[in-house]
Amino acid sequence: MLSLSEPIILAIESSCDDTGVALMRGVRHVLAQGLSSQIDRHSAFGGVVPEFAGRMHLQALLPLVSRVLGSAGLTDPAHQLGAVAVTAGPGLIGSLFVGVMGAKALCQAWGLPLIGVNHLEGHLFAPLVEHHELDFPYLGLIVSGGHTELILCHAPGRYERLAQTRDDAAGEAFDKLSKVLGMGYPGGPKVQAAAEGGDPKAYALPRPAFDGSKDFSFSGLKTAALDVINRARMKGQPPDAAGLCASFQAAVIDCLKARVLWAVEYTGVRSLALSGGVAANEPLRRALMSERGFTTYAPRAAFCTDNAVMIGAAGAVAYRAGRFSDLTLQPTPNWELTAGC
Ligand code: KG4
Ligand code: ZN
């Protein structure tokens, strides 16, 4: 998939609380990248505050573009770049707006084509950047703060959703548990760290049953964990936080694994691309990688959470296919991946 004749694409990601910029040649070659995280600003509130997020993207974006161009030694973007790719949705409207308007302005200034990328397609492509043996068709499990989706990726641009969450996203459930335990935001890494010292059988937490639907559901699990905390506090005792985190994490992993096993069986596809922030969870990666019958490809942690490299990878594929956007591109907060990109 790598060809030096491919153009360099400047990619921008700003759908939530991370401003990312990357320079990619094709799907695999990362020339430079940078990320400006807003976590410190939002953590006091236990989650992302959309108002702050938009403003901080505005402050961060253009200096980051300059820095990334500089670190790749590009001084003449109008002639050295082939296109600008930007996340156009789904995401927070104010955050998306900054990236999309910024990308449109750069395209106007440099006379470059624009590529609007679906954020979820970016996540699905993240494992392709480093795992060169991964190829279509593959199953994509996106587990992030906003999404939990199992997608059959037939070919670039052809996606079939097999399952999605009926309520909370997996990352959202991690974040909520962490918040209630007073461990801070984002919750996933804190829960993972706390779980290291805990017994995954400390609490019997529910696993949503496989009824007629293959969808995910995490609100029952979240409520059960919060009940444990409330009951302990009512008795004047702190809950066994390590045990609760370990039990909770084990339940999330079981739920995800059960749907993946079903999907492998149902589709006959034996490659799984794991992506999204929760894909950085080490026990989840180990659990899926140790399964026989299919191979799990997970990106490094920095490419699991939001980043512009994955947007550049999706942009490179769109470029090859001649899938460009025009300059009337608008941010689309609810852009469904399966509605076409
Ligand atoms: O993909 P991402 O950066 O942003 C969204 O598109 O949502 O995912 C962020 C989510 C947060 O909910 C965060 O708690 C979770 O990913 N996360 C983790 C881990 N690292 C990040 N969840 C579990 N274990 C982790 N190590
Ligand atoms: Zn994401």
Mean pLDDT in order along the chain per 10 residues (341 residues): 77 95 97 91 80 91 98 98 98 97 98 98 98 97 96 96 96 95 94 97 89 88 96 94 98 97 97 98 98 97 97 97 96 85 38
| Coarse DSSP helix, strand, coil percentages of the chain, rounded to the nearest 5 percent | 45, 20, 35
- Residue 184 CA to ligand 1 center (angstroms) comes to 13
Task: Kindly give, in sequence order, each residue whose CB lies less than 8 Å from that of residue 116, ignoring residues fewer than 6 positions away.
Answer: 85, 86, 88, 100, 325, 329
Residue with tokens 């801070």: 184
Q: Assess whether the C-beta atom of 144 lies below 6 angstroms from ligand 1.
A: yes
- Residue 227 CA to ligand 2 center (angstroms) comes to 29
Q: What is the Cα 121 distance to its own chain's centre?
A: 10
**Using an 8 Å Cβ cutoff, are 76 and 32 in contact?**
no
Indicate the top mutation candidate among 36, 42, 123, 174 to test ligand 1's pocket, ranked by most ligand atoms within 8 A of CB. Answer: 174
pLDDT, position 1: 46
pLDDT, position 50: 87
pLDDT, position 4: 58
- Residue 169 CA to ligand 2 center (angstroms) comes to 11
Which residues place a Cβ less than 5 A from the ion ligand 2?
Answer: 144, 306
Q: Assess whether the C-beta atom of 171 lies below 6 angstroms from ligand 1.
A: yes
Say whether 296 sits in a helix, a strand or coil. strand
